[in-house]
Chains A and B, each alone.
Chain A
Amino acid sequence: MPKPRDIGAVLNRRAFFQGSLALGGGMLLSGMIPGLPGAQADTGGVFNPNAFIRIDRSGGITLIMRHAEMGQGIYTGIAMLIAEELEVDLEQVVLEAAPADPSRYTDSAAGEEVTGGSASTRDSWLPLRQAGAAARIMLVAAAAARWNVLPKSCAAQHGQIIHVLTGRTLSYGDLAEEAALQKVPEKIILKDPSTFRLIGTSPQRLDTKPKSNGTAIFGMDVRVPGMKIGRIMASPVQGGRLISYDSVAVRAIAGVVDIITLPDVIAVIGDHSWAAIKGLEAANPQWDPGPHAAVSTKILMDDLRRASDRTGLVAKNTGDVDAALAACSHQIDAVYELPFLAHAALEPINTTLHIRPDGADVWVGTQVPVRARQEVANATGLPPEKIAIHNHVIGGGFGRRLDSGSIGQAARLAKQISYPVKLFWTREEDIQQDQFRPFYYDRISAGLNKQRRIAAWKHRTTGSYVTTRWAPEGLQNGLDTDTVDGATETPYAIPAQRNESVQCEPEGLTTLWWRGVGPTHNIFVVEGMIDELAHLAETDPLDFRRSMLGHSPRGLKVLNEAASKSGWGTPLPAGHGRGIALHYSFQTWAATVLEVRVTRDNDIRLIWADTAVDCGPIVFPDAIKAQIQGGLIFGLTMALYNEITVTNGRVDQSNFHDYRMMRINEAPDIRVHLVPDLSADIGGIGEVGTVAAAPALANAIFAATGRRLRRIPFVPQIAGKST
């Protein structure tokens, strides 16, 4: 079993358990081709060979998307995989979001119907091509039967079957009814990559036209007949209770329809959002802050610091690290700190629900539709199969929609009323009630031997275990492997290494996955420390890394590519500096060189970035470039500006005037260079760009100023300090 590297791996472990349980239940085949129906049901003339393809008699070809589209381009990528083997053009297909249905849409690698961990393409690469191929084989068989010829004399292309000898054609629609009666093929041979028409090209994305003219329907945009709109506010301190509110003042607001509450939540419902917004302001809810009223960032950090003195769970132990350290001629002991972070997706949390005595409809953008459905079932007592989850394109996920708690909250409110309602959080609520990327407090000691090579490496991370709450069965002997992902398996040859992890949960805050998960945390520490050691060894940071990459040829390749494309080593103007970072995350190799300029006033200007990527086989090159560009900006935003702080149990930040987002006039030019190893396993891409941002930036600032930054965010630390 490969080393777990990401949350996909956390999920993987669950899948292993669930797969074992399902062994006797005839699920194995659907493990090969997920969502394959066990038996042919009465299809009513519709060809529905598996859970991902539906072809009707009129020729309509619908592809069903089990992964959520949140900007990463997965709808197009997966459509390409299916269409490649199904032999249809992208212009011929219509896409549809999958419902919540674990029997058909469980991601066999992840063990759940989930979008996350940069795993969607990886987990679809084989099975969804197989799904397309299986359907094609059945369509060919149907045509061959109709013509009474051998299937191998027929070819599929552009949505029709051709009898090669005679040139006769039948469209897929013509064949739908008969194809549905064909046997599901047992043996599927996939196309040779040299014959790919779609895979490896960059077609127009399938989700973006409606996003360019205002017609795309995000969860926030759902409108159903008879729907009212409500604004939610929860206790600003976790664990608090609603004591009172001014219902007279609320009712005085034009358009207010209802006030509904939970012990820790109030929602005002109106004919429109404005009534709900003003109604909740007028409600002036009073809260008993509860047991966490005294929590502050300082208290939470003191907790972490104290916890980091403990010995943690050992995640890796090679060689005798203490002896090796003692023998080192030079040593660095450092503490790296990464703050709590909000996701701040631009679409605030929202759920539209219609809960009836006999069932429910839920319209929402979610990365976890089955969990969403279970939340509603738990809240209402309805059986899950009576609850329909209609998944929508998501206005930015970044991990936030991996949690379904807000959907449960909405269901507990909506079940108190009989009409459909859209319940939304304001931007302020979205930031203050977010589930935050954990604060990590990392102690690291490393030393050089006389040859100025790394001889010992000891890294202890302390922070929240998201897995404990989110997927406890994914823990490995109590260890949340995400907390050490990127720390245990570095690209470098290090003879003696120990990694430890200490769990420390923040009082009064809930934590969650955040773009780049473990690697975003650990690569900052590892690549910062490597840079520190290079400086200690008086070696160029690029050469220092190269010298330790004997076992990582792909790592060396991306490192060299990024370095040469960036002009590494060529002279720079005063105040400029280049920083480099290399990592292997989500089964992808990537190296980034970032050039910055730090002004006399210590204003940091990002000049440009070069990222070289080897993610194995490439499905949609332009989407890879887009994800690297966007991911880097996401990570640079965090590294420069972001930190969630707490005072008296309340989050201090609330909107973009105090939780800063990078703007276009701060964004660097970003060039992406693809150097794929097509024979390697396919890698993930959605979070790869984010991972390298903070270490490349910290290293570039060091190169420009000589100042080493070990704590995120950087801007507040260096502003105003003379260099």
Chain B
Amino acid sequence: MKYFLLFFAVIMAISARSAQAQTDLIEQGKTLFRAADCAACHLSSDGQTLSGGKAFSLPFGTVYAVNITPDRETGIGAYTDEQWLRMMRTGVDRNERHLYPVMPYTSYTFLNDADTLAIKAYLFTLKPVQAKAPENRLPFPFNQRWVMTFWNWFNNPNRRMTTDPHRTPEWNRGAYLVEALGHCDQCHTPRNFMFGLSGKAYAGTVQVGWRAYNLTSDTEHGLGGWSDSELFEYLSTGYAPHRGPASGPMAEAIKNSLRYLPAEDIRAMIVYLRSIPARSNGPQRGKRVPGASGENEDVGRHIFQQACMGCHLENGAGRQSDWGALEGAHSLSDPAATNIIAVLRTGTSIKTEHGKMAMPSFTKAYTPQELTAISEYLLDHFGGIQAPIKPESFKN
């Protein structure tokens, strides 16, 4: 009896330990899942589950995010660890089908085994949702998934990240967060003719209608002019004084991912970002255009007073909160007004410790001409530049 009890106690201890290990694994997986910002693409339209469905309009067609809940039929529930590792690194799913590189496996490929599987372990704890992603809409030849084999030869490094012994541990941690988990380059690095990432790492580019800014150390277009504390605040809250708020996809990255990262991780990312060589790439500041319509300027100002000043104030200082403080934002001196157009078209929202801060889309109440006028007004009033914007930018 005594032995039996002892035996029982040992069993209990072991299982308790393994249960603890399992909990730790899932907790770690959740942290990594957030750092990898899987939700950015896979969150359902109601924002409640990871059942996918979001459409990505790409130069070569439309691709839909898949369901990554553990539903066996429509989700990832049937993946073995081996299949999972292969999918995350080579972009080949368990049915031997090639994924399209909207899925950033060319970044996730840098993740180590333990981290990759921890993400899977976390996802497997979620409630399975039955939801089949819509069929991608791609013309020939892009609908031929095997073409991706060749694409991968050129574009997927397919290797794990190794520690650079010449760099500090902090830098190495930053590299892992930026390159592997955060897959920042997927938006911030210009793509090549194959839609792969070009050699101009982090030089900034326009993706899905939004300008992802230059993250290199360039002082004019990149982060060279930002202080560490500005970067820290921006990455962890979505706002830094005189830099404007994050909006669009960057606001989502902060909402779903960056705001959960521990401070030391954000600091590590900054260390790494600082080491990216400068590339002077970005929108050229517009020049004064003679003969711009004074009347249109009036229209822009009037609409700003009606619909915008309630949150932004005339001087752009933000009325209720910093997340409405436009002044200093990079987007206001981009003569193409890419992000102004995008935010007016689609709106934006960000989560903060003070609650959700959101701006709606204004395309239903105002005409393309009026939205053009307001974009031009914003560029002039805040960016000090006059640049003509085309009303077509606001037409669907």
Q: Measuring CB to CB, which residues of chain A are less than 8 angstroms from any residue of chain B?
A: 246, 284, 599-603, 641, 652-653, 655-660, 663, 665-666, 715-716, 719-720
Residue of A nearest to B49 (CB): A284
B61 within 8 A of A: no
- A657 near B295 with CB under 8 A, answer no
Given contacts A601-B296, A655-B360, A657-B360, contact A719 B365 (CB under 8 A): no
Q: Measuring CB to CB, which residues of chain B are less than 8 angstroms from any residue of chain A?
A: 46, 48, 293, 295-296, 299, 302, 305-307, 360-362, 364-370, 373, 391
Residues in chain B near residue A659, CB distance under 8 A: 364-365
Residues in chain B near residue A284, CB distance under 8 A: 46, 48
Residues in chain A near residue B361, CB distance under 8 A: 657-658
> How many angstroms from the CA of A264 to the CA of B387 in the assembled complex?
51
Residues in chain B near residue A665, CB distance under 8 A: 302, 305-306
Residue of A nearest to B366 (CB): A660
In the assembled complex, the CB of B108 is this many whole angstroms from the nearest CB of chain A, namely: 30
- A657 near B369 with CB under 8 A, answer no
In the assembled complex, the CB of B251 is this many whole angstroms from the nearest CB of chain A, namely: 18
Residue of B nearest to A666 (CB): B302
**Would you mind naming 23 contact pairs between A and B with Cβ atoms under 8 Å apart?**
A246-B48, A284-B46, A284-B48, A601-B295, A601-B299, A601-B373, A602-B369, A603-B369, A656-B365, A657-B365, A658-B362, A660-B365, A663-B305, A663-B306, A665-B302, A665-B305, A665-B306, A666-B302, A666-B306, A715-B367, A719-B369, A719-B370, A720-B368
Besides A601-B369, A720-B368, 5 other CB < 8 A contacts?
A657-B360, A665-B302, A665-B305, A719-B370, A720-B369
The 10 A-B pairs at the shortest CB distance, nearest first, are namely A658-B364, A719-B367, A660-B365, A657-B360, A663-B306, A719-B369, A720-B369, A599-B295, A658-B365, A665-B302
> How many angstroms from the CA of A658 to the CA of B302 in the assembled complex?
17
Residue of A nearest to B362 (CB): A657
Given contacts A665-B302, A665-B305, contact A603 B368 (CB under 8 A): no
Residues in chain A near residue B296, CB distance under 8 A: 601
In the assembled complex, the CB of A254 is this many whole angstroms from the nearest CB of chain B, namely: 13
Residues in chain B near residue A602, CB distance under 8 A: 369
From B48, B306, B361, B370, residue with most partner A Cβ within 10 Å: B306
Which secondary structure dominates chain B's binding surface?
helix
Given contacts A601-B293, A601-B299, A657-B360, contact A720 B365 (CB under 8 A): no
In the assembled complex, the CB of B314 is this many whole angstroms from the nearest CB of chain A, namely: 13
> How many angstroms from the CA of A111 to the CA of B293 in the assembled complex?
58
Residue of B nearest to A721 (CB): B369
Residues in chain A near residue B370, CB distance under 8 A: 603, 719
In the assembled complex, the CB of B37 is this many whole angstroms from the nearest CB of chain A, namely: 22
In the assembled complex, the CB of A705 is this many whole angstroms from the nearest CB of chain B, namely: 15
Residues in chain B near residue A653, CB distance under 8 A: 364
In the assembled complex, the CB of A252 is this many whole angstroms from the nearest CB of chain B, namely: 13
> How many angstroms from the CA of A656 to the CA of B362 in the assembled complex?
9
- A658 near B299 with CB under 8 A, answer no
Neighbour of A719 across the interface among B46, B307, B360, B368, CB < 8 A:
B368
Residues in chain B near residue A660, CB distance under 8 A: 365-366
Given contacts A601-B293, A601-B295, A666-B302, contact A657 B368 (CB under 8 A): no
- A600 near B293 with CB under 8 A, answer yes
Residues in chain B near residue A657, CB distance under 8 A: 307, 360-362, 364-365
> How many angstroms from the CA of A641 to the CA of B303 in the assembled complex?
14
> How many angstroms from the CA of A719 to the CA of B366 in the assembled complex?
10
- A658 near B305 with CB under 8 A, answer no
Neighbour of B360 across the interface among A599, A600, A658, A663, CB < 8 A:
A658
> How many angstroms from the CA of A663 to the CA of B370 in the assembled complex?
15
Residue of B nearest to A658 (CB): B364
Residues in chain B near residue A658, CB distance under 8 A: 360-362, 364-365
> How many angstroms from the CA of A655 to the CA of B361 in the assembled complex?
11
> How many angstroms from the CA of A666 to the CA of B391 in the assembled complex?
22
Residues in chain A near residue B46, CB distance under 8 A: 284
In the assembled complex, the CB of B61 is this many whole angstroms from the nearest CB of chain A, namely: 24
> How many angstroms from the CA of A599 to the CA of B373 in the assembled complex?
13
Residues in chain A near residue B391, CB distance under 8 A: 720
Residue of A nearest to B302 (CB): A665
Residues in chain A near residue B368, CB distance under 8 A: 719-720
In the assembled complex, the CB of A186 is this many whole angstroms from the nearest CB of chain B, namely: 60
From B46, B293, B365, residue with most partner A Cβ within 10 Å: B365
- A641 near B293 with CB under 8 A, answer no
Residues in chain A near residue B306, CB distance under 8 A: 663, 665-666
Residue of A nearest to B46 (CB): A284
In the assembled complex, the CB of A236 is this many whole angstroms from the nearest CB of chain B, namely: 12
Residues in chain B near residue A656, CB distance under 8 A: 365
- A652 near B367 with CB under 8 A, answer no
Residues in chain B near residue A719, CB distance under 8 A: 367-370
Residues in chain B near residue A720, CB distance under 8 A: 367-369, 391
Residue of A nearest to B293 (CB): A601
Residue of B nearest to A663 (CB): B306
Residues in chain B near residue A601, CB distance under 8 A: 293, 295-296, 299, 369, 373
Residue of B nearest to A715 (CB): B367
Residues in chain B near residue A246, CB distance under 8 A: 48
Residue of A nearest to B360 (CB): A657
Residues in chain A near residue B293, CB distance under 8 A: 600-601
Residues in chain B near residue A715, CB distance under 8 A: 367
Residues in chain A near residue B366, CB distance under 8 A: 660
Given contacts A284-B46, A665-B305, A665-B306, contact A603 B299 (CB under 8 A): yes
- B295 near A603 with CB under 8 A, answer yes
> How many angstroms from the CA of A716 to the CA of B369 in the assembled complex?
10
> How many angstroms from the CA of A657 to the CA of B360 in the assembled complex?
7
In the assembled complex, the CB of A129 is this many whole angstroms from the nearest CB of chain B, namely: 45
In the assembled complex, the CB of B236 is this many whole angstroms from the nearest CB of chain A, namely: 24
> How many angstroms from the CA of A659 to the CA of B365 in the assembled complex?
6
Given contacts A601-B295, A601-B299, A603-B295, contact A652 B364 (CB under 8 A): yes
Residues in chain A near residue B369, CB distance under 8 A: 601-603, 719-720
Residue of A nearest to B307 (CB): A657
In the assembled complex, the CB of B300 is this many whole angstroms from the nearest CB of chain A, namely: 11
From B360, B369, B373, residue with most partner A Cβ within 10 Å: B369
Residues in chain B near residue A666, CB distance under 8 A: 302, 306
Residues in chain B near residue A655, CB distance under 8 A: 360
Residue of A nearest to B355 (CB): A278
In the assembled complex, the CB of A719 is this many whole angstroms from the nearest CB of chain B, namely: 4
- A641 near B365 with CB under 8 A, answer yes
> How many angstroms from the CA of A721 to the CA of B46 in the assembled complex?
38
In the assembled complex, the CB of B370 is this many whole angstroms from the nearest CB of chain A, namely: 7
Residue of A nearest to B368 (CB): A720
In the assembled complex, the CB of A576 is this many whole angstroms from the nearest CB of chain B, namely: 14
Residue of A nearest to B296 (CB): A601
Residue of B nearest to A603 (CB): B299
Residue of A nearest to B305 (CB): A665
Residue of B nearest to A278 (CB): B355
In the assembled complex, the CB of A702 is this many whole angstroms from the nearest CB of chain B, namely: 20
Residues in chain A near residue B365, CB distance under 8 A: 641, 656-660
> How many angstroms from the CA of A660 to the CA of B46 in the assembled complex?
26
Residues in chain A near residue B364, CB distance under 8 A: 652-653, 657-659
In the assembled complex, the CB of A247 is this many whole angstroms from the nearest CB of chain B, namely: 14
Residue of A nearest to B364 (CB): A658
- A716 near B360 with CB under 8 A, answer no
Residues in chain A near residue B48, CB distance under 8 A: 246, 284
In the assembled complex, the CB of A584 is this many whole angstroms from the nearest CB of chain B, namely: 34
> How many angstroms from the CA of A602 to the CA of B296 in the assembled complex?
10
> How many angstroms from the CA of A716 to the CA of B391 in the assembled complex?
13
> How many angstroms from the CA of A663 to the CA of B299 in the assembled complex?
13
Residues in chain A near residue B360, CB distance under 8 A: 655, 657-658
> How many angstroms from the CA of A665 to the CA of B307 in the assembled complex?
12
In the assembled complex, the CB of B268 is this many whole angstroms from the nearest CB of chain A, namely: 33
In the assembled complex, the CB of B270 is this many whole angstroms from the nearest CB of chain A, namely: 34
- A716 near B367 with CB under 8 A, answer yes
> How many angstroms from the CA of A715 to the CA of B369 in the assembled complex?
10
> How many angstroms from the CA of A660 to the CA of B365 in the assembled complex?
5
In the assembled complex, the CB of B133 is this many whole angstroms from the nearest CB of chain A, namely: 19
Residues in chain A near residue B302, CB distance under 8 A: 663, 665-666
- B367 near A600 with CB under 8 A, answer no
